[in-house]
Amino acid sequence: MLIYLLRRLLLAILVIVSVSVVTFFVARVIPSDPAALYAGQRPTSDQIAAARERLELDQPLYNQYFRFVRDILKGDLGTSYKTKHAILADIKTFLPATLELVIASTLMAIIIGIPVGVLAGAKHGGWLDQTTRILSIAGVSFPTFWLALVLQLFFFGTLHRLFPLSSRISNNVALFNSFPAVTGFYLIDTLLAGNFIAWRDAVWHIILPTLTLATYPISLTLRMTRAAMVETLSEKYITAARAQGLPERDILFRYALKNAIVPTLTVLGLSFAYSLTGAFLVEVIFSWPGLGKYVTDAIFNVDFPVIVAVTLIVTLFFVSINLFVDIIQAFLDPRVVLR
């Protein structure tokens, strides 16, 4: 186990370093002038030259990269050229909104995808199985931006503003029912403050973006669970359990699901990591003030330090989640050998 963890850790470091190198140098070769962006609107040539010297953009690229790595090791992700804010402070502000959305969509995938997948696998070939297969194929095929717009049109337009279109909370609630930001997760902070008016409003705002983001992982989880259950239910120990007269619910959810859940956990872990990037487009459409909105503005402004920093954060999440899923698999399935 220790050797496996050390090897995976070294591999994770290699991946992160490779991503940082590629992202850093690609950002530098894009035809733009970050010094002019840093100098502000309508800068003079002297102001641009001073900004370039201050940012050390006049140094060779390898010197700039080594300085970038040195600052990261000290916990400094740099400063935004556009806002002049520390990027780490900005990420601490925007990341909780993205994580709240991603966690909510993952929970929805677990609550809907696994039970429905179990039942579809148990009724293999039946109407429920056929229906869920069609819906899951459609769910993984719908473009995220199209689905978001359709949901907005239906729930806001057709159903007369049943759900709000944008933001995390209504302006009047934020003004008259404010609450302290403890964790950055509105659903948690409102409960900690005992502010149920703001909590209900936050729930109402998160439903549409969560449903949009959760459609893909729900469909993927459902298909994987269903396929694993079909295979598991054909095993001899399931036949023996049924011959002993055990309740079907116990057979499905206590015995079969225990062995079928391993590949589903892998899909859930990868879906969680995928949702971090998938949330970017959802946040733009729903004006959700998260990391996606933050990095999208940075891309429009060609704000290199923000782009590189967010890329590294997302890469770190991907690597960590993959490692976590592998370890969980080994504990749940003794057939998996950590080498």
pLDDT tens per residue across span 311-322: 888 888 888 887
- pLDDT confidence tier of residue 98, bands split at 50, 70 and 90: very high
For residue 236, which of 260, 256, 254 has the smallest C-alpha distance? Answer: 256
> Which tens digits make up the pLDDT trace of 253-295?
888 888 888 888 888 887 887 788 778 889 989 999 988 888 8
Helix, strand, or coil here: 301?
Answer: coil
pLDDT of residue 20: 83
136 vs 45, more confident: 136
pLDDT surpassing 60 at residue 336: no
- pLDDT confidence tier of residue 103, bands split at 50, 70 and 90: very high
Give the Cβ contact number of residue 254 at 10 Å: 12
pLDDT of residue 14: 87
pLDDT of residue 190: 94
223-227, 300-304, 334-338, range with the lowest pLDDT: 334-338
pLDDT surpassing 60 at residue 339: no
For residue 288, which of 40, 43, 104 has the smallest C-alpha distance? Answer: 104
Largest CA distance in the chain: 86
pLDDT of residue 316: 86
For the chain, give the mean pLDDT: 85
Of the chain, the percentage scoring pLDDT greater than 70 comes to 95
What backbone torsions phi and psi does residue 80 show, to the nearest 5 degrees? Answer: -65, 130
Q: Which helix (H) or strand (E) is 27 found in, with range?
A: helix 2-29
Mean pLDDT of 193-197: 93
The pair of three-digit structure tokens given for residue 293, joined into one six-digit string = 């909105």
* CA-based torsion, 320, 168, 110, 285: positive or negative: negative
Answer whether 276's CB lies under 8 Å from 313's CB: no
> Which tens digits make up the pLDDT trace of 206-217?
999 999 999 999
DSSP annotation of 156 reads I
pLDDT of residue 31: 66
For residue 290, which of 273, 304, 277 has the smallest C-alpha distance? Answer: 277
d(C-alpha 126, C-alpha 147), whole Å? 28
pLDDT surpassing 90 at residue 16: no
The superfamily (CATH) of domain 98-294 is MetI-like (1.10.3720.10)
pLDDT of residue 83: 80
Most confident of 34-48, 89-103, 261-275, 292-306: 89-103
Mean pLDDT of 4-23: 82
What backbone torsions phi and psi does residue 193 show, to the nearest 5 degrees? Answer: -85, -5
Answer whether 312's CB lies under 8 Å from 12's CB: no
Burial class (CB in 10 A: 0-12, 13-18, 19+), 199: buried
Burial class (CB in 10 A: 0-12, 13-18, 19+), 6: exposed
Could you identify the residue written with the tokens 């946040």? 283
9-23, 107-121, 250-264, 317-331, range with the lowest pLDDT: 317-331
- pLDDT confidence tier of residue 337, bands split at 50, 70 and 90: low
> Which tens digits make up the pLDDT trace of 123-145?
888 888 889 889 888 888 888 88
pLDDT of residue 335: 58
Answer whether 20's CB lies under 8 Å from 69's CB: yes
Of the chain, the percentage scoring pLDDT greater than 90 comes to 25
For residue 249, which of 115, 139, 157 has the smallest C-alpha distance? Answer: 115
